[in-house]
């Protein structure tokens, strides 16, 4: 059985720069991101959209994140009206503006190789009949289905409480009116099932399975449309996640908490903990208990984690075991070093990749820096890439960090894999980049595109700083 892939919505990290939001999401162990097109992260109307898309694509690829494009920014089209205009507007110009946004979203999704574009119907204006609004919706959806079909992009239409299409029955009616096109898939919000549908959310999953291309998840109370953290509502998550696995769903299951940006990284970490616990393999749940009771048991459990739970779950299961260790061991650094030194390449990678998650409350501190130093001494691309993640960005001193970045350049590791690059780049690193580029040019060799981009960004920043 294919393990579920968990993602986090960028609208829950609205106070972060996009690069750093993606680093947080990947650093915590998520496998994907629900990327909302908005002014703060990725504005579909910015004049330099092509450059920003190229940068985002490199970052997503370097971090190994899948992506779904979300189109629910609140005031992107009208600074005065939330989520307006929509495909239901009585004004043809308003409908055209929403359709233009959706077409832009499809183009962005194609450029990012996204798994789906998610969108919804909107709410009819006062005085507009249900039938008239539905007719407008069918026309708009037919147009965007055609665009998506030509671009090879899947659409995920989301039933939303309070909107014209509020539930699965409404989605099925709309899909039939469109002629059941292949490109017109479904975004299922598990919280909305709890809020509206007459059956348990797990049954919603089974009913939605034939069209499911995107899943959003959060906690919610019956009849109350308010996105809550896991454990604060009424949803029983293990049956929901089991249903997703049973129907063979392979897309992202993305946490949707747009009002939690003030506590983004902590909320994202708690959410992933809850999802992993709710979907845990029986062996994993037992192993976590054993490590909490006796941290020494990790020595025998850590190497066999992937074999016992499936190779696709290896890193996630090992991260859970390491979290149990850190939670029960007052000085975990020695145990982490022992696991790293005694492990094979996959086990070493698991330790390095888990460091940002383990240190989210400062539980490890700088004590694991020797592991980073050891990985950076190797010529293993995977180990070096893992070593320049968020933990190194937080704790490596500036000279050591510069040398780590330059090693990535020499090894051909994409600079998008380096956490904190924009924040920590200084004039000395730019001097090192410039010297490397000059050597390559003098030798008649090309300068890597991402290095040239960094030098261009620095030149642009310097010009702006002197305006």
User: Does 292 map to a domain?
Assistant: yes
d(CA 189, CA 167): 10
Same domain for 233 and 297, yes or no, is no
**pLDDT classification of 464: cutoffs 50, 70, 90:** very low
Same domain for 298 and 272, yes or no, is no
Structure confidence at residue 327 (pLDDT):
84
Same domain for 220 and 79, yes or no, is yes
Q: 17: Cβ–Cβ under 8 A, 6 or more apart, which residues?
A: 422
The CATH number given to whatever domain includes residue 31 is 3.20.20.150
Residue that finishes a domain, picked among 278, 310, 344: 278
Q: Which residues of 214-230 are buried (b: 16+ CB within 10 A; e: fewer)?
A: bbbbbbbeeeebebbbb
Residue that finishes a domain, picked among 381, 405, 437: 381
User: Does 437 map to a domain?
Assistant: no
User: Does 191 map to a domain?
Assistant: yes
**pLDDT classification of 4: cutoffs 50, 70, 90:** very high
Residue that finishes a domain, picked among 260, 278, 296: 278
Residue-wise DSSP of 347-381: HHHHHHHHHHHHTTTSSSGGGGHHHHHHHHHS--H
Average pLDDT of the segment spanning 438-447:
90
Model pTM above 0.85: yes
Same domain for 348 and 314, yes or no, is yes
pLDDT of 260 higher than 60: yes
Structure confidence at residue 467 (pLDDT):
40
Average pLDDT of the segment spanning 60-79:
96
Structure confidence at residue 460 (pLDDT):
57
Structure confidence at residue 344 (pLDDT):
94
Same domain for 344 and 199, yes or no, is no
Beta pairing class for 219-221 and 224-228: antiparallel
Same domain for 358 and 263, yes or no, is no
Structure confidence at residue 313 (pLDDT):
76
Same domain for 305 and 198, yes or no, is no
What is the total count of domains within the chain?
2
Q: Return mean pLDDT, the chain.
A: 93
User: Does 458 map to a domain?
Assistant: no
137-181 pLDDT, tens digit per residue, is 999 999 999 999 999 999 999 999 999 999 999 999 999 999 999
Same domain for 112 and 236, yes or no, is yes
Same domain for 40 and 172, yes or no, is yes
Structure confidence at residue 289 (pLDDT):
95
**pLDDT classification of 22: cutoffs 50, 70, 90:** very high
309-362 pLDDT, tens digit per residue, is 876 778 899 999 999 999 888 888 999 999 999 999 999 999 999 999 999 878
Same domain for 327 and 181, yes or no, is no
Structural domain range at position 242: 5-278
Same domain for 195 and 122, yes or no, is yes
d(CA 125, CA 106): 26
User: Does 22 map to a domain?
Assistant: yes
Closest CA to 383 of 337, 345, 342: 345
Same domain for 240 and 131, yes or no, is yes
Least confident of 68-77, 189-198, 200-209: 189-198
Structure confidence at residue 461 (pLDDT):
54
């Amino acid at each position: 059985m294919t393990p579920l892939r968990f993602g986090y919505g960028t609208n829950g990290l609205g106070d972060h720069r996009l690069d750093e939001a993606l680093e947080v999401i990947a650093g915590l162990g998520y496998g994907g991101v629900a990327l909302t097109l908005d002014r703060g992260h990725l504005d579909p109307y910015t004049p330099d959209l092509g450059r920003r898309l190229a940068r985002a694509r490199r970052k997503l690829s370097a971090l190994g994140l899948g992506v779904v494009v979300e189109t629910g920014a609140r005031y992107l089209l009208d600074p005065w009206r939330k989520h307006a205009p929509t495909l239901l507007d009585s004004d043809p110009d308003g409908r055209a503006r929403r359709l233009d946004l959706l077409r832009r979203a499809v183009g962005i999704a194609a450029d990012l190789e996204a798994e789906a574009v998610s969108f919804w119907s909107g709410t009819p204006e006062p005085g507009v009949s249900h039938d008239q609004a539905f007719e407008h919706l069918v026309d708009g959806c037919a147009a965007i289905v055609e665009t998506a079909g030509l671009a090879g992009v899947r659409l995920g239409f989301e039933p939303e409480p309070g909107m014209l299409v509020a539930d699965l029955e409404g989605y099925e009616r709309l899909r039939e009116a469109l002629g059941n096109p292949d490109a017109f898939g479904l975004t299922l919000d598990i919280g909305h099932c709890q809020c509206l549908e007459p059956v348990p959310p797990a049954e919603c999953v089974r009913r939605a399975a034939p069209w499911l291309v995107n899943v959003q998840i959060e906690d919610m109370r019956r009849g109350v449309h308010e996105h809550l953290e896991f454990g604060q509502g009424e949803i029983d998550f293990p049956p929901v996640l089991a249903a997703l696995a049973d129907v063979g769903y392979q897309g992202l299951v993305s946490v949707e908490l747009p009002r939690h940006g003030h506590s983004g990284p902590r909320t994202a970490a708690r959410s992933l903990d809850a999802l992993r616990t709710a979907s845990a393999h029986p062996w994993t749940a037992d192993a976590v208990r054993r490590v909490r009771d006796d941290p020494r048991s990790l020595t025998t459990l850590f190497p066999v984690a992937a074999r016992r739970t499936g190779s696709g779950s290896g890193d996630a299961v090992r991260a859970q075991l390491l979290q149990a260790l850190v939670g029960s061991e007052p000085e975990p650094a020695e145990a982490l070093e022992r696991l790293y030194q005694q492990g094979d390449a996959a086990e070493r990678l698991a330790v390095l990749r888990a460091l940002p998650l383990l240190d989210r409350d400062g539980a490890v501190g700088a004590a694991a820096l020797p592991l980073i130093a050891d990985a950076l001494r190797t010529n293993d691309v995977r180990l070096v890439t893992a070593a320049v993640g968020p933990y190194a960005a937080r704790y490596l001193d500036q000279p050591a960090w510069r040398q780590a970045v330059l090693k990535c350049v020499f090894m051909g590791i994409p600079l998008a894999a380096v956490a904190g690059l924009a924040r920590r780049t200084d004039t000395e690193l730019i001097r090192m980049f410039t010297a490397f580029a000059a050597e390559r040019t003098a030798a008649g060799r090309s300068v890597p595109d991402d290095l040239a981009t960094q030098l261009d960004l620095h030149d642009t920043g310097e010009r702006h700083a002197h305006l």
